[in-house]
Amino acid sequence: MRIVTRSRLAQLEADARAAREQARQTVGGASEAFRQHVRELYSATDRAERAEATASEVGAILAQATEELSAAQQGLLLKDIEIRRLREELARGPAEGETLTVLMHYGEPHTVYASREDAHADSATHGVPDGRWVSAGERPAAASKWRCEAFIYDPACNGFRRAYPPASTALGGAA
């Protein structure tokens, strides 16, 4: 058995107080370190969520820009094809029997079209409803507000001539 003296007991109590104080300081330091760690974790989580939202927005913008670019490229390709076709047509020149349609306004040329259908389709912009075309008959072109005249390419005259020449009128009653 061991005999504990008063001084030894006082020393043990002092050591115990010192150990409790050290434990309290250690727990306080650990708690502060844990709180700091939790604050940093929340901050990192917030930054990660904002980065994820920004990445999602950037992805949507990029997808839309890619779509628009693809549509623009498709449009350019179609225009390039049409330009190539028109250049070939221009280089070929008119062929015998090829027709043009001229939209006449009171006998004066107004617009030239590649076909009668194009002229009729576009005539609505000039106030002529589609399907309201009638034959000019024997009336002179100047007597009609709007009239379509067909012209045919004739290599003999190196140009276009009317498809239907106007009826000859008798001069002074002679035929």
For 120-162, write each residue's pLDDT tens digit.
888 777 777 666 665 566 677 777 777 888 888 887 877 777 7
Residues 44 and 81 both lie in one domain: yes
Cα separation of 6 and 1, whole Å? 16
Residues 84 and 105 both lie in one domain: no
pTM of the model: 0.42
Residues 47 and 122 both lie in one domain: no
Residue at 167 is within a domain: no
Range of the domain at 157: 99-162
Residues 81 and 110 both lie in one domain: no
Q: Is the dihedral of CA 110, 114, 116, 119 positive or negative?
A: negative
Burial 117-151 (b: 16+ CB within 10 A, else e): eebbeebeeeebeeeeeeebeeeebeebebbbbeb
**140 within 8 A of 168, measured Cβ to Cβ:** no
Q: Which two tokens mark 24?
A: 């309290």
pLDDT tens column, 45-76 = 999 999 999 999 999 999 999 999 999 999 99
Helices (H) and strands (E) in the chain, counts: 2, 4
Residues 4 and 70 both lie in one domain: yes
Residues 124 and 67 both lie in one domain: no
Residues 17 and 85 both lie in one domain: yes
Task: Choose among 77, 79, 125: nearest CA to 103.
Answer: 125
Residues 72 and 6 both lie in one domain: yes
Percent of the chain with pLDDT over 70: 87
Residue 9 has a pLDDT of: 86
Q: Is the dihedral of CA 100, 103, 106, 108 positive or negative?
A: negative
Q: Which residue has the higher pLDDT, 32 or 116?
A: 32
Radius of gyration of the chain (CA): 48
pLDDT, mean over the chain: 83
Position 172 confidence tier, pLDDT thresholds 50, 70, 90: low
- What does the DSSP assignment read for 1-38? -----HHHHHHHHHHHHHHHHHHHHHHHHHHHHHHHHH
